[in-house]
């Protein structure tokens, strides 16, 4: 698609692009000025009309999520910026925090104003130490310049933003696990209902939005919902940061319209496969999405609906590319090991099942496999993640979607590269 | 009221009831582990999954709430929810969850104390598979002490987190937590704060499997060998409802019995392990009379005659001492028998403790202070000066078996009596001063009613058999009374004593063992 100019990452090559003075020089905080004169309901409506869908992984419509907040509550409302970017193959939020932190902050203030929140949190992944320092700098600049605190930009709106560094658990990126962690508890996802919009942080109505989602907001306000809808497919429009990694010549973050073809992403933006090898498989949306074979990958656009049709998902748009040299059994074990390590251990199927998968795959790789193991992997993944029937949407046997996050990719490896698993089975010997 | 269809059964239920509760109330058992009615719902064991029509995923019934839905959303035009708890899908899911739970389980039922009352065992038998598909090495960990009286067998633990939530929500002491993560998760106690609160024993009860064990009961017996008697704890005036597990003469353990008007689901460790006080007592099992400084045994007939003669000879100058450890009936009959001054032994007081959840340990550490005061007539506070001023010559003590340090005023008083009659089950300091010792029953042998400090009359039931020639305390007093007054009532059983008592005291009107039942009734028809 020609003529697309990056929206969120337009200025990230510029010097000092993370500073307030730079951000102001490119029209930063004008959206906020505009918003502060609007009725919060109209701000929410504009976001709803933009059809912005969450960029964290689940793709839930942002305006709809805000609409779940109770209308008449005496409790405070909270906005949490989910900056716990931990999905393997995903590194877009880090870029935004490094290079365009004021854009994210402006988005946060707009969202907070729209939902009537006066205390907001940035829950940032513990490993993002450098980014947390940048954000501290950004917040103090904002407070000094009346962008945060009392009477923001001369209005009667006030907002405080607090940075909270996570302690390094994948599951704390799940919104209720994040809230528990923010409350100082163990990062165990909560059972729903109640949803965070009704009872979240400190039992109060809470909205959790991703860094990239929030970063879109100033642009939606400035250029309007109609403009936003004009980018990419109807059911999930807007610009999107695609992270391409793995066996490609030019890995990195590429801002493209939603719906760009995966082929363009891999072979054009990311410069094709290293050493002119053959493409073998791709994770289209982080390591918790089901992998696509080369054929499938070359025939799909990166949009929510199309990937669901392919029984995978857009997820966090973390594209991990595997070439012909990749051993799919080892790769599968690697993924299983990651998820077993990160399982919070609360729900029975996930705690026990992930470890079972690792033990079985480890044995298989070590040469101790049995023919029945291969079908057993299907049984185990189905028992963790539910019978995956996209037509009925019937999946999920655990409190949070982590169960699916391990079941889908592991299952897809076996489903699509069964022969490689069979090759790992020891050759049958005739015992005389 | 919403109309729920559950397994083709139509039931009307309260708005806001969970499917799990609704099923239980209608005789449908939904297996579960992490859910406990006293604790927050976490929905993590996934055992209680059921199918709700119109919802694509199976739902945890512990957190699925039935509410009135608008007419257009009703299923078949009338049901607010339609649930299947026993169809193939649900049963298969239970099997899957059980498979996961048993992957690393040692399957050591033959040496596990929980066997016979283990939900993992029961549900595996009912829903599980007889064959394991797990070819890997099991996770094996050594047992650990979580507190001085609680041991955890990690290999049996299913991480339902009931125990952790108990220490957070019920005792409020938060000693327990889940250590590590995922597959490495395990229950642990804080290093500097072991599980030693006074409610600690409850975690072994609420553990649905054999992971948490009380050191007091570990490997002592098998549950199917024991008899179970519902009764009431006698270690403070709360009167927690309990089950007494015993075999022949031995009490093996006490567990709390659910009663929402008294103790909820729990009991404290003072009461739980209190029965050990009677393990090595110097029991009195035969009537005795003191002759020249030493006791001689005798038969009941003779003992009652001598007692009656002594009482008669004092010409009404005998005082009675009632006890807050004895039943209402025994105290009442002592009052009837001794037609004179009444006093009581010094109370046993300690700290009043109220937990976060409202669970309480009363400062009054005898079980029946209120009942004693209610049914004994006037009890003088300063009995010793009354005895002196009215030149009382004899004293009949309903001893409570508590080996208390008697102060000098009591000693002087008793030394100056012509006779001291002690009805007791143990050779206490008081009994040693007696002219006559009449052997009554020990706490787990006796039966009667006691009234807790909130005014609830409860049925204290006997479990272990009577020792030697001892008799129920009410019967001894009746025999003495019969010997004193030839025309006095002969009570055929405890029920008749209660009837007589309830006729006399309006607050106890209508009280009977039948009405008290397992849960007790409030004095005067209401809880104070």
Give residue-wise pLDDT tens across range A124-162: 999 999 999 999 999 999 999 999 999 999 999 999 999
* Those residues with Cβ within 8 angstroms of residue A330's Cβ, 6 or more apart along the chain or in another chain: A365
Q: In terms of C-beta density within 10 A (0-12 exposed, 13-18 middle, 19 or more buried), how is residue B408 classed?
A: exposed
Q: Name the CA dihedral angle for B479, B481, B482, B485, rounded to a multiple of 10 degrees.
A: 160
Q: Do B136 and A169 touch (CB under 8 A)?
A: no
Mean pLDDT of A250-277: 97
| Banded pLDDT at B152 (limits 50, 70, 90) | very high
pLDDT of residue A430 exceeding 70, the answer is no
Alpha-carbon distance of A107 to A210, in angstroms, equals 10
Pairing outcome for strands B342-344 and B250-256? unpaired
- Among the partner residues A193, A344, A395, nearest to B181 by beta-carbon distance: A344
Q: Topology of A239-323 in CATH? A: Ubiquitin-like (UB roll) (3.10.20)
DSSP track, A278-307: PEEEEESSSTTSPPEEHHHHTT-BSSHHHH
- With a pLDDT cut of 70, the percent of chain A lying above it is 96
Inter-axis angle of helices A40-50 and A211-229, nearest 10: 80
Q: In terms of C-beta density within 10 A (0-12 exposed, 13-18 middle, 19 or more buried), how is residue A283 classed?
A: buried
- Using a CB-CB cut-off of 8 Å, the residues of chain A touching B57 are 386, 394-397
Pairing outcome for strands A206-210 and B150-152? unpaired
Alpha-carbon distance of A349 to B506, in angstroms, equals 60
Strand locations in A88-221, DSSP E? 119-124, 160-165, 206-210
Tell me the β-bridge partners of A102.
Answer: none
A345 close contact with B: CB closer than 8 A: yes
Alpha-carbon distance of A322 to A301, in angstroms, equals 18
A356 close contact with B: CB closer than 8 A: yes
pLDDT of residue A392 exceeding 70, the answer is no
Structure tokens at B342: 């009444």
- φ/ψ of residue B308, rounded to 5: -65, -40
pLDDT of residue A391 exceeding 70, the answer is no
- Residue B21 to residues A222, A342, A369, B63, B66, Cα–Cα distance (Å): 52, 33, 45, 10, 10
Three-class SS of residue B325? coil
Alpha-carbon distance of B166 to B175, in angstroms, equals 10
Asked whether the beta carbons of B328 and B374 are under 8 A apart, the reply is yes
Mean pLDDT of B251-264: 97
User: The domain A20-229 belongs to what CATH superfamily?
Assistant: NADH-ubiquinone oxidoreductase 51kDa subunit (3.40.50.11540)
Q: Do A354 and B182 touch (CB under 8 A)?
A: yes
Asked whether the beta carbons of B184 and A340 are under 8 A apart, the reply is no
Structure tokens at B126: 């009912």
Q: Name the CA dihedral angle for B178, B184, B188, B190, rounded to a multiple of 10 degrees.
A: -80
- Residue B55 to residues A309, B28, B52, Cα–Cα distance (Å): 21, 21, 6
| For testing contact with chain B, the best of A348, A370, A379 (most B CBs within 10 A) | A348
**End-to-end Cα distance, chain A:** 66
A197: left (phi over 0), alpha (psi -120 to 50) or beta: alpha
- Among the partner residues B96, B136, B180, nearest to A383 by beta-carbon distance: B96
- Predicted pLDDT of residue B316: 85
Give residue-wise pLDDT tens across range A45-85: 999 999 999 999 989 999 999 999 999 999 999 999 999 99
Structure tokens at B255: 């567990």
Asked whether the beta carbons of B56 and B70 are under 8 A apart, the reply is no
Asked whether the beta carbons of A79 and A111 are under 8 A apart, the reply is yes
Domain ranges of chain A: 20-229, 239-323, 328-431
Mean pLDDT for chain B overall: 94
Asked whether the beta carbons of B256 and B36 are under 8 A apart, the reply is no
Three-class SS of residue B250? strand
Tell me the β-bridge partners of B288.
Answer: B297, B437
- Predicted pLDDT of residue A395: 65
Residue B424's closest CA among B400, B448, B454, B451? B400
Cis amide prior to A339 (ω within 30 degrees): no
A177 close contact with B: CB closer than 8 A: no
Rounded CA Rg of chain B = 28
pLDDT of residue B18 exceeding 60, the answer is yes
- Predicted pLDDT of residue A40: 97
Q: Do B44 and A393 touch (CB under 8 A)?
A: no
A184 close contact with B: CB closer than 8 A: no
- With a pLDDT cut of 90, the percent of chain A lying above it is 94
- Using a CB-CB cut-off of 8 Å, the residues of chain B touching A347 are 44-46
- Among the partner residues B45, B136, B161, nearest to A359 by beta-carbon distance: B136
Q: Which residue in chain A has the smallest CA separation from B136?
A: A359
Helix residue ranges per DSSP H, B226-299: 269-272
- Residue B182 to residues A126, A170, A336, A425, B166, Cα–Cα distance (Å): 19, 12, 13, 29, 21
Distance from CA of A30 to the nearest CA of B (A): 45
pLDDT of residue B480 exceeding 80, the answer is yes
Complete edge-to-edge strand list for the sheet that includes strand B521-522: B448-451, B456-460, B521-522
B70 close contact with A: CB closer than 8 A: no
Q: Which residue has the tokens 């969450």?
A: A54
B436: left (phi over 0), alpha (psi -120 to 50) or beta: beta
Q: Do A191 and B182 touch (CB under 8 A)?
A: no
- Predicted pLDDT of residue B527: 47
Alpha-carbon distance of B39 to B45, in angstroms, equals 14
- Among the partner residues A344, A386, A397, nearest to B182 by beta-carbon distance: A344
A139-173 burial code (b ≥16 CB/10 A, e <16): bebbeeeebbeeebeeeebebebebbbbeebbbbb
Mean pLDDT for chain A overall: 94
Percent helix, strand, coil in chain A, to 5, is: 45, 15, 40
- Among the partner residues B65, B93, B183, nearest to A355 by beta-carbon distance: B183
Q: CB B44: neighbour CB atoms within 10 A?
A: 26
Complete edge-to-edge strand list for the sheet that includes strand B3-6: B9-12, B3-6, B81-84, B49-52, B59-60
- Predicted pLDDT of residue A396: 78
Give residue-wise pLDDT tens across range B177-222: 999 999 999 999 999 999 999 999 999 999 999 999 999 999 999 9
Q: Do B49 and A396 touch (CB under 8 A)?
A: no
Q: CB A31: neighbour CB atoms within 10 A?
A: 21
Structure tokens at B23: 């099923």
Structure tokens at A226: 């109609």
Which CATH architecture describes the domain A328-431?
Answer: Up-down Bundle (1.20)
Alpha-carbon distance of B304 to B478, in angstroms, equals 10
Distance from CA of B45 to the nearest CA of A (A): 5
* Those residues with Cβ within 8 angstroms of residue A135's Cβ, 6 or more apart along the chain or in another chain: A97, A101, A122, A124, A163
Regarding pTM above 0.90, the answer is yes
- Among the partner residues A344, A352, A396, nearest to B103 by beta-carbon distance: A352
| Banded pLDDT at B382 (limits 50, 70, 90) | confident
* Those residues with Cβ within 8 angstroms of residue A68's Cβ, 6 or more apart along the chain or in another chain: A195, A197, A198
HSE value, Cβ hemisphere, 13 Å, CA-based, for A229: 11
- Residue B108 to residues A353, B72, B102, B153, Cα–Cα distance (Å): 22, 53, 11, 11
Three-class SS of residue A383? helix
Mean pLDDT of A297-307: 95
B526 close contact with A: CB closer than 8 A: no
Three-class SS of residue A385? helix
Q: Minimum mean pLDDT among A236-250, A253-267, B341-355: which range?
A: B341-355
Alpha-carbon distance of B199 to B272, in angstroms, equals 9
B54 close contact with A: CB closer than 8 A: no
Give the distance from CA A156 to its chain's centroid: 34
- Predicted pLDDT of residue B413: 84
Q: Do A397 and B158 touch (CB under 8 A)?
A: no
pLDDT of residue A428 exceeding 90, the answer is no
């Amino acid at each position: 698609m020609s003529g697309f100019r990056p929206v969120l990452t337009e200025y990230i090559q510029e010097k000092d692009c993370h500073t307030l003075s730079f951000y102001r020089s490119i029209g930063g905080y004008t959206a906020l000025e505009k918003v502060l004169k609007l009725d919060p309901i109209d701000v929410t409506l504009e976001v709803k009309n933009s059809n912005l869908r969450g960029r964290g992984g689940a793709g839930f419509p942002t305006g709809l999520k805000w609409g779940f907040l109770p209308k008449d509550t005496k409790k405070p409302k909270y906005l949490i910026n989910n900056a716990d970017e931990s999905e393997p193959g995903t590194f877009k939020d880090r870029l935004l925090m490094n290079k365009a932190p004021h854009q994210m902050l402006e988005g946060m203030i707009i969202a907070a104003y729209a939902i009537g929140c006066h205390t907001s949190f940035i829950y940032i992944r513990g490993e993002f130490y450098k980014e947390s320092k940048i954000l501290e700098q950004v917040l103090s600049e904002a407070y000094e310049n009346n962008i945060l605190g009392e009477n923001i930009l001369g209005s009667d709106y006030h907002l405080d933003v607090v940075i909270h560094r996570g302690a390094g658990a994948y599951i704390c990126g799940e919104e209720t696990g994040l809230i528990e962690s923010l409350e100082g508890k163990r990062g165990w996802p909560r059972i729903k209902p109640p949803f965070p919009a009704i009872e979240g942080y400190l039992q109060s109505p809470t909205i959790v939005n991703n860094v990239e989602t929030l970063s879109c907001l100033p642009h939606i306000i400035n250029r309007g919902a109609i403009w936003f809808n004009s980018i990419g497919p109807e059911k999930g429009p807007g610009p999107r940061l695609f992270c391409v990694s793995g066996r490609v010549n030019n890995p990195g973050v590429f801002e493209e319209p939603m719906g760009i073809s995966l082929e363009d992403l891999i072979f054009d933006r990311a410069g094709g496969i290293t050493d002119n090898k053959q493409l073998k498989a791709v994770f289209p949306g982080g390591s918790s999405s089901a992998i696509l074979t080369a054929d499938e990958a070359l025939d799909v656009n990166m949009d929510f609906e199309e990937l669901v049709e392919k029984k995978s998902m857009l997820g966090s748009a973390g594209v991990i590319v595997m070439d012909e040299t990749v051993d799919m059994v080892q790769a599968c074990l690697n993924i299983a090991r990651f998820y077993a390590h990160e399982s919070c251990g609360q729900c029975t199927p996930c705690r026990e099942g992930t470890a079972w998968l690792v033990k079985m795959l480890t044995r298989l790789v070590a040469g101790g496999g049995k023919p029945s193991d291969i079908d057993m992997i299907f049984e185990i993944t189905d028992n963790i993640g539910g019978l995956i029937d996209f037509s009925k949407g019937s999946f999920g046997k655990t409190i949070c979607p982590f169960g699916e996050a391990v079941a889908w990719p592991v299952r897809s490896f076996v489903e699509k590269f069964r022969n490689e698993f069979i090759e790992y089975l020891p050759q049958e010997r005739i015992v005389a | 009221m919403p109309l729920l269809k559950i397994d083709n059964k139509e039931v009307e239920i309260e708005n806001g009831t969970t499917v799990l509760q609704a099923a239980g109330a209608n005789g449908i058992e939904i297996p579960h582990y992490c859910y406990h009615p006293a604790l927050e719902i976490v929905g993590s064991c996934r055992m209680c999954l059921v199918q709700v029509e119109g919802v694509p995923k199976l739902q945890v019934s512990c957190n699925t709430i039935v509410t009135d839905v608008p007419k257009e959303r009703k299923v078949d035009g009338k049901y607010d929810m339609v649930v299947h708890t026993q169809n193939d899908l649900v049963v298969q899911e239970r099997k899957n969850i059980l498979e996961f739970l048993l992957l690393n389980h040692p399957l050591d039922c033959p040496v596990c104390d929980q066997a016979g009352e283990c939900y993992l065992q029961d549900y595996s038998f009912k829903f599980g598979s007889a064959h394991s598909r797990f070819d890997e090495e099991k996770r094996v960990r050594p047992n650990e002490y979580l507190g001085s009286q609680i041991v955890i067998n990690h290999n049996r633990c299913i991480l339902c987190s009931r125990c952790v939530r108990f220490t957070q929500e019920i005792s409020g002491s938060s000693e327990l937590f889940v250590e590590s993560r995922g597959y490495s998760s395990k229950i642990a106690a804080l290093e500097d704060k072991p599980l030693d609160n006074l409610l600690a024993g409850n975690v072994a009860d609420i553990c649905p499997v054999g992971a948490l064990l009380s050191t007091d009961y570990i490997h002592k017996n098998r549950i199917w060998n024991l008899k179970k008697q519902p009764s009431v704890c006698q270690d403070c005036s709360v009167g927690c409802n309990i089950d007494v597990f015993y075999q022949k003469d031995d009490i093996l353990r006490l567990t709390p019995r659910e009663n929402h008007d008294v103790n909820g689901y729990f009991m404290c460790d003072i009461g739980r392990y209190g029965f050990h006080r009677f393990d090595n007592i110097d029991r009195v099992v035969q009537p005795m009379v003191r002759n020249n400084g030493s006791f001689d045994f005798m038969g009941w007939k003779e003992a009652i005659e001598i007692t009656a003669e002594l009482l008669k000879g004092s010409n009404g100058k005998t005082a009675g001492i009632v006890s807050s450890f004895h039943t209402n009936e025994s105290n009442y009959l002592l009052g009837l028998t001794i037609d004179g001054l009444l006093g009581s032994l010094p109370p046993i007081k300690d700290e009043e403790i109220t937990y976060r959840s409202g669970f309480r340990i009363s400062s009054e550490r005898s079980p029946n202070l209120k009942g004693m005061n209610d049914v004994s007539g006037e009890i003088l506070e300063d009995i010793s000066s009354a005895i002196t001023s009215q030149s009382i010559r004899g004293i009949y003590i309903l001893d409570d078996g508590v080996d208390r340090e008697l102060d000098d005023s009591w000693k002087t008083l008793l030394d100056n009596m012509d006779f001291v009659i002690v009805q007791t089950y143990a050779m206490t300091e008081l009994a040693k001063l007696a002219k006559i010792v009449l052997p009554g029953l020990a706490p787990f042998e006796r039966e009667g009613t006691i009234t807790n400090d909130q005014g609830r009359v409860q049925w204290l039931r006997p479990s272990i058999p009577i020792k030697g020639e001892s008799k129920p305390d009410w019967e001894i007093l009746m025999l003495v009374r019969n010997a004193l007054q030839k025309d006095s009532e002969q009570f055929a059983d405890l029920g008749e004593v209660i009837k007589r008592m309830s006729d006399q005291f309006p607050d106890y009107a209508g009280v009977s063992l039948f009405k008290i039942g397992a849960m007790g009734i409030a004095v005067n028809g209401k809880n104070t």
